[in-house]
Amino acid sequence: MNAFLETFFKPNLIAQYLPSILKGVFVTIEIALAVVISGLLLGLVLAVIRSFHIKLINVFIIVIVDMLRALPPLVIVLIVYFGLPNVGVNIPSFAVLWLVLTLVLAAFAEEIFWAGILSVPKGQWEAARSTGFGFVGTLGYIVLPQAVRLTVPPITNRTVAITKNTALGMVIGVPEILNQATSAQSFSGNATPLMMGAIAYVLLFIPVVALGRFLETRFAWRRS
Amino acid sequence: MPILSIRGLRKSFGHTEVLRGIHLAVAPQELVFIIGPSGSGKSTLLRCCNRLEEPTAGVITLDGVDLMARSTDINAMRRKIGMVFQSFNLYPHMTALGNVTLALRKVVGKSRRDADAAGMAALERVGLSAKAKSYPGELSGGQQQRVAIARALALEPTVMLFDEPTSALDPELVGSVLAVMRELKSAGMTMLVVSHEMRFARDAADRVIFMDHGLIVEEGAPAQIFGAPREPRAKAFIAELTR
C-alpha cells in the first residue's frame, strides 16, 4: 500500500510538479477548444457542401474524409511536423497539432452530420419546398436543425475521442498535459506526475461527457 | 376560365410511365376529387401540380402562369399552391405556431408579430388556436393534420392539394380533418383531393375523377360516378369500395 502511494501519489512530487501539470492543462484546454470549434464547423460546412450533390466535389470530400478517418492521427502529426520542413514549410508544433486534429475531427463530424442530414425524412423537404422554401432555406431552417439534434450523441463521443488526442502533442513537443507529465516523470523517476496527468484528463473530460448527456436530453423532442 | 389547367401531362419514373397524358381544368372554387386504384398515378398527378415531382412533358398553368416555364419562379408559385400530405410532415422541432409561421417569416418576409397574427388566425380556422404552443409530438394525428392544413392555409393559397389527408389517421380522428376541409370548400377554396373518403366526396365534391394506369378514365358529378359509372374499370373499383 505504501509502495503504491510512493509510486503514484508521492506528496512532495505532487507539490513540485503541480504548476507544470497545470500549465499543461491550460495548453490542452486551448488546443482542445480550438480543435472542437474549428473541427465541428469545418465538418458541418463539408456536410452542407456535400448535400448540394455536386459529383466532383463530393468525390473529393469523400476521398479526403475517408483518408483522414483511416489514418492514425499520430501518423499525420508526424508526417506534417517532420516531413513538411523538408519542403520548406515550417509550422509551429502547436499549430500542427491543432491543424491535424481539426482535420481529423472535421472528417468524422462531416460523416456524422451527413448521416444526420440523410436521416431527416424526405417529407420534411417536401413540406418545406411546398411552402416556397428553396433548397438553402429548407436546409437551413428545417433540415439542419433536425439533423444537428439527431447527431448530438455521436458527435459528442467523437469530439471527446479526438480531443483526447491532444496528448499526441507530446511527440512533437507541445507542452500539453502528457508532455509535462512525462518530462516530470523522467526527471523524478516516479510515476506520480503521470498519475497527476491522468487525473487532469479525467477532470477535464468528465464535464464534457456530462455536457453531451445534457444536450442529448435537452435537444430531444417527442417523435410523432 | 379555369384557375388550374393541366394539359398533356406525362411523367415517367425510369421506363415506367406513371402519367400518360392528363388533361384537367379546375374552375375557381371547384373541389375536384380524384379516385383510382393504387398505382394509378393520383398522387403523382397531385405532386406534379407544384412540381414536387418534375413532369416529363405537358403544360400546367395556375392563374394564367405557366408553372413549367423557365422564367417562372417555382418557389414563389408554390406559395400559392397549398399542399397537405398523407403523413402531415410537420416540423417536429417547432411548435404548431412555429410550423404555421415559418414560411410567413422566412419566405414571405413578414415580421414575427404579423406572422404570429396570421398564424394564429390560421390555427383558429382549423380549431387549434389553443394548441399553438404544442409540439407535433404532443398532438394527435388529426390535430397534426389540421396544423398542416393551417400551415398551407396561412400562405393564402389560390388552390390546395390534399394527398390522402386522412389515410394515416385513426377512424375516429378523420371527421375533424374532413370538417376543416368542408369549411374550406364552403369558403370558396379551390381544392384537388386524392382520397378514399367516399362520403366526403358525395357531399362536398363538385366533380369526381377516376384514374387508372396514368389516365383519367371517367369523370363526372359524384352522384353519377358513384351511382352509375360507365367504364367497366370504374364500375369494378367503385363496387369494391362500396362493398
Check if the beta carbon of residue B159 is closer than 8 Å to that of residue B82.
yes
Check if the beta carbon of residue B88 is closer than 8 Å to that of residue A224.
yes
**Any chain B CB within 8 A of the CB of A222?**
yes
Quick one: pLDDT at residue A222? 46
Q: CA B197, CA B39: separation in Å to the nearest integer?
A: 18
DSSP string, B189-230: -EEEEE---HHHHHHH-SEEEEEETTEEEEEE-HHHHHHS--
Q: What is the ipTM of this complex?
A: 0.94
- φ, ψ at B210 (rounded to 5°): -105, 125
Check if the beta carbon of residue A113 is closer than 8 Å to that of residue A159.
no
DSSP collapsed to 3 states, A65-90: HHHHHHCCHHHHHHHHHHHHHHHCCC
Check if the beta carbon of residue A171 is closer than 8 Å to that of residue A40.
no
Q: How far apart, in Å, are the Cα atoms of B58 and each of A93, A164, B11, B51, B74? A: 63, 59, 9, 12, 16
Quick one: pLDDT at residue A106? 97
Using the beta-carbon criterion (under 8 Å), do B137 and A146 form an inter-chain contact?
Answer: no
Check if the beta carbon of residue A166 is closer than 8 Å to that of residue A176.
yes
Instruction: Give the chain B residue nearest A148 (alpha carbons).
Output: B93
Indicate the pairing of strand B81-84 with strand B31-35: unpaired
Handedness of CA A114, A116, A117, A119 (dihedral sign): positive
Domain count, chain A: 1
Q: CA B65, CA B80: separation in Å to the nearest integer?
A: 11
Quick one: pLDDT at residue B240? 86
Q: CA B127, CA A12: separation in Å to the nearest integer?
A: 74
- Is residue A2 in a domain? no
Residues facing A79 on adjacent strands? none
Quick one: pLDDT at residue B88? 96
Give me the CATH number covering residue A122: 1.10.3720.10
- Residues in A touching B139 (Cβ below 8 Å): 224
Check if the beta carbon of residue A169 is closer than 8 Å to that of residue A92.
no
Q: How far apart, in Å, are the Cα atoms of A95 and each of A21, A98, A102? A: 21, 5, 10
Handedness of CA B18, A131, B140, B30 (dihedral sign): negative
Q: What is the pLDDT along chain A (224 residues), one digit of tens a residue?
A: 788 888 888 888 888 999 999 999 999 999 999 999 999 999 999 999 999 999 999 999 999 999 999 999 999 999 999 999 999 888 999 999 999 999 999 999 999 999 999 999 999 999 999 999 999 999 999 999 999 988 988 898 888 888 889 999 999 989 999 999 999 999 988 999 999 999 999 999 898 888 878 877 776 654 43
- Is residue A81 in a domain? yes
DSSP collapsed to 3 states, A114-178: HHHHHHCCHHHHHHHHHCCCCHHHHHHHHHHHHHHHHCHHHHHHHHHHHHHHHHHHHHHCCCCHH
- Residues in A touching B85 (Cβ below 8 Å): 123, 126-127
Instruction: Give the chain B residue nearest A123 (alpha carbons).
Output: B89
- Is residue A4 in a domain? no
Contacts of B96 (CB under 8 A, 6+ apart): B90, B123, B128, B131, B132, B133, B134, B135, B136, B139, B147, B150
| Helix count and strand count (H, E) for chain A | 11, 0
Q: Which residue has the cell 393564402?
A: B156
Q: What is the pLDDT along chain B (243 residues), one digit of tens a residue?
A: 899 999 999 999 999 999 999 999 999 999 999 999 999 999 999 999 999 999 999 999 999 999 999 999 999 999 999 999 999 999 999 999 999 999 999 999 999 999 999 999 999 999 999 999 999 999 999 999 999 999 999 999 999 999 999 999 999 999 999 999 999 999 999 999 999 998 899 989 999 999 999 999 999 999 999 999 999 999 999 888 777
Residues 118 through 147 of chain A touching chain B, CB cutoff 8 Å = 121, 123-124, 126-134, 137, 141-142, 145-146
- Is residue A200 in a domain? yes
- Residues in B touching A133 (Cβ below 8 Å): 75, 103, 106-107
Domain carrying residue A57: 16-223
- Is residue A8 in a domain? no
Check if the beta carbon of residue A186 is closer than 8 Å to that of residue A136.
no
Say how far residue A159 (Cα) sits from the centre of its chain.
4
Q: What is the pTM of this model?
A: 0.87
- Is residue A11 in a domain? no
- Taken as a whole, chain B contains a residue count of 243
B180: number of Cβ within 10 Å: 22
Q: Where are the alpha helices (DSSP H) in B32-159?
A: 42-48, 74-78, 96-103, 112-125, 141-153
- Is residue A167 in a domain? yes
- φ, ψ at B81 (rounded to 5°): -120, 95
- Is residue A68 in a domain? yes
Check if the beta carbon of residue A108 is closer than 8 Å to that of residue A163.
no
B137: number of Cβ within 10 Å: 13
Q: Which of B43, B48, B91 to mutate to test the interface with A (most CBs of A within 10 A)?
A: B91
Indicate the pairing of strand B190-194 with strand B207-212: unpaired
Among the partner residues B76, B85, B138, nearest to A127 by beta-carbon distance = B85
**Any chain B CB within 8 A of the CB of A4?**
no
Residues facing B31 on adjacent strands? B191
Quick one: pLDDT at residue A10? 87
